[in-house]
Chains A and B, each alone.
Chain A
Amino acid sequence: MSATSELHNLGQGGARAKRQNKTAFLFLLPWFLGLFVITIGPMLASLILSFTDYNLLQPAEFNGLENFSRMLGDERLHQSLGVTFTYVFVSVPVQLGLALGLAIVLDRGVRGLAFYRSMFYLPSLLGASVAIAVLWRMVFGADGLFNDGLALFGIEGRGWISEPETALGTLITLNVWTFGSPMVIFLAGLRQIPRMYYEAASVDGASRWRQFLSVTLPLLTPIIFFNLVLQIIHAFQSFTQAFIVSGGTGGPADSTLFYTLYLYQRGFGNFDMGYASALAWLLLLIVGAFTAINFWASKYWVFYND
């Protein structure tokens, strides 16, 4: 829209507002297209498919709630839920704890902050990539770097990713290692806390620990909440790491069978797209429920300083 048309619009009241809306929608069109074509369209399709028997290669047939009742007796689904919940509830708290701790250390004004910040942030950019998953497989393989390191201390290693007891642990470690992005958000949050609170606290003789508990932590709760919600959603949807590290099987013996991986296997491995769609919707409900609980609980511990 040019300046002249803006002028022209001046003083035309409702018509002008309408026209401006039109312009806005026009500019938003690419985004709307993306939303409908890439997100909402497939979601609706999968909602419909979740009530069908659909093998990908032939037309879908409606089968009512059969896919959902089948979930009750599906042992592999239950296994994948167990694996995913363990992954989410172990890796997210550890990751956020580490991120917060390092953010506080860096916030103290370490020399070369920009360098450290970048270094710690780097894994977040790479963590979900195929390359890192491949690297992980090499590092934690029986002949891998990690065992070489242990050998220096005379500890005999094991096949960390090829044994059921430890395979999930390596993936949790991988997720924890990507603490950089919540850390950067924490750092920004820490910078938002007015220095005068600390000055006032130290005048009152509060120790550093006391200051952390009574000033930093309460004022940081909105940021912690934000990171918590984001990372939980993110962790529920993890796929790449487990897919690459286990070669798509979720093995050994289903010990890394993430929910999304099982969904993928049903859909594309077993031509069972109807059931896979139903699984996708169950995941949406689970993630939605956890997010709702998070928001509800936030009333009791998140402090908004406004």
Chain B
Amino acid sequence: MQRRLIFKGLGASAVALPGLAACGTGGGGDVELSDEPVTIRMTWWGADTRAELTDQAIAAFQKEHPNITVKGEFKDWAGYWDALATTTAANDSPDVIQMDELYLASYGDRGTLLDLADTSDFLDTSGFEAATLETGKIDGTQYAIPIGAGMLASVVNADLFAQYGVELPDDTTWTWDDYAAIANELTEKSGGVINGTGLTGGTDAGSIRYWARLHGNELYGENGDVTLDPAVLAALWEYSLALIESGGAETAAETVEGQSAGLEGSSIATGKIAMTIAYNTQITPLLAASGADLRLIQLPGAVETTANFIKPSMYWAVSSQSEHPAEAATLIDFLVNHEAAADILGTERGIPANPAMREHVATDLDEGEQLAVDYLESATVGPAVVVTPNGGSGFDPTCQRYSQEVLFGERTPQDAAEAFIEELKTEIDAAA
């Protein structure tokens, strides 16, 4: 790996671009496997479970390809994107990158990801459904291969419900009002030892999208414009405030601590709350961390409108800076198309997007995976989502900041919602 000095960063991107253009038009003629031993780097975000499984998958890959050494690097979500931006700017980005829907356009539009058509000799996408592949395209170019999908779900801790004698909710009928009533009941019956729920959203794109779709609204229009209605977002925050006020939800301070504690340290994992909202695939680490009887049930309000959605969350992508695109593509091919990898990785990164792998893993699921798959099969899905536009990657941190101002009473929900949407629009306009 040839490292370039950081101070060259200014010129680095200018140097990289002509190379990129060559890749785009040349059609991968020069992409081939090396005869020499090659080391490639692969990076992902995620919890400990993911790291263990991925390391095992890497070991299996290296056994099949003794020429290729894969160095895995992983970080938590927040640090991951800082590091990726920094290493990319320094022209030192890892070869294989786990990409998220939030950032796909930001990186793809700026030419830092390889057009996977160039590596089609090594990475076979024929097993995927066209609609699935579509979620990895920006303006018709395949920059990323979807790994899997997730869906928002309600997580309930059945142990805590039993302990405090509260009936489990009936998710075929429940509404947000029911949710609030149950949360309050849990707090009350536990004598304040636990809270019924954590914050039910309003700090991230996923939960706000669900809430907006319940109200006939959407985050982005087809052309990538922000269409979120401030009044809708304000209503979600008002709901949260009321729930904190009544004691059903954790206090604002507890919420903030939970936000920076990671999945394993979150309140649902440590048994401080009995209900929350999470992606179905997060159930595996949550089960491992909590050791409790956690279950996935439908989101409140799901009966009224089909507002839930498949989140085409994770992708594999190859850096356009990679000096070994063929090897990088071979690794991705192994991860998404080979049963040996599927056996190890299971559904930890989501229910596999490759139908053959989905079928394969369905025969041998552990408890958490089974819950995640069952949930996906039972949930009703609304229309597909629009990929986050370039410049929209700051949605979550920006939203978290405004929501904190609301929760600590520094701003009214309506005022904060308007300011937030204004800021989001400015960022997206600036990036376009």
Contacts and interface: CB of A to CB of B under 8 A. Distances in A.
Interface of A: 37-38, 41-42, 45, 48-49, 55-60, 137, 141-142, 158-159, 161-164, 246-254, 264-265, 268-273
Interface residues of B, number: 41
Given A58-B110, A142-B254, A159-B253, 9 more contacts: A57-B110, A58-B17, A60-B13, A159-B257, A162-B257, A164-B408, A252-B256, A252-B408, A253-B408
Give the interface SS of chain B, mostly helix, strand, loop or mixed. Answer: helix
A162 B17 contact: no
The 5 closest A-B pairs by CB, nearest first: A159-B253, A247-B260, A57-B110, A162-B256, A56-B89
15 contacts: A41-B7, A42-B6, A56-B85, A57-B13, A60-B10, A60-B13, A142-B253, A162-B255, A247-B260, A248-B78, A252-B404, A253-B404, A264-B82, A268-B82, A273-B89
B410 interface: yes
Contacts of A250: 401
A55 B431 contact: yes
B259 interface: yes
Contacts of A252: 252-253, 256, 404, 408
A248 B400 contact: no
A299 to B, nearest CB: 38
Given A41-B7, A49-B10, A246 B89 contact: no
B79 interface: yes
B13 A56 contact: yes
B427 interface: yes
A272 B7 CA distance: 17
Interface string B1-20: 00001110110011001000
Contacts of A137: 260
A142 B257 contact: yes
A272 B78 CA distance: 17
A37 B401 contact: no
Contacts, number: 105
Interface in B398-415: 400-401, 404-405, 408, 410
Contacts of A161: 257
> Which residue, A38, A41, A49, A253, has most C-beta atoms of chain B within 10 A?
A253
Given A159-B253, A249-B400, A269 B89 contact: no
B7 A38 contact: yes
Contacts of A158: 253
Contact of A251 (B14, B85, B112, B401): B401
A165 to B, nearest CB: 8
Contacts of A142: 253-254, 257
A130 to B, nearest CB: 11
Contacts of B276: none
B21 to A, nearest CB: 13
A57 B253 contact: no
A306 B357 CA distance: 82
B284 interface: no
B88 A56 contact: yes
Nearest to B79: A248
Contact of B110 (A55, A253, A272): A55
A54 B430 CA distance: 11
A251 B431 contact: no
Contact of B254 (A56, A162, A247): A162
B139 to A, nearest CB: 16
Contacts of A265: 397
B384 to A, nearest CB: 27
B254 A253 contact: no
A56 B401 CA distance: 24
Contact of B401 (A159, A253, A271): A253
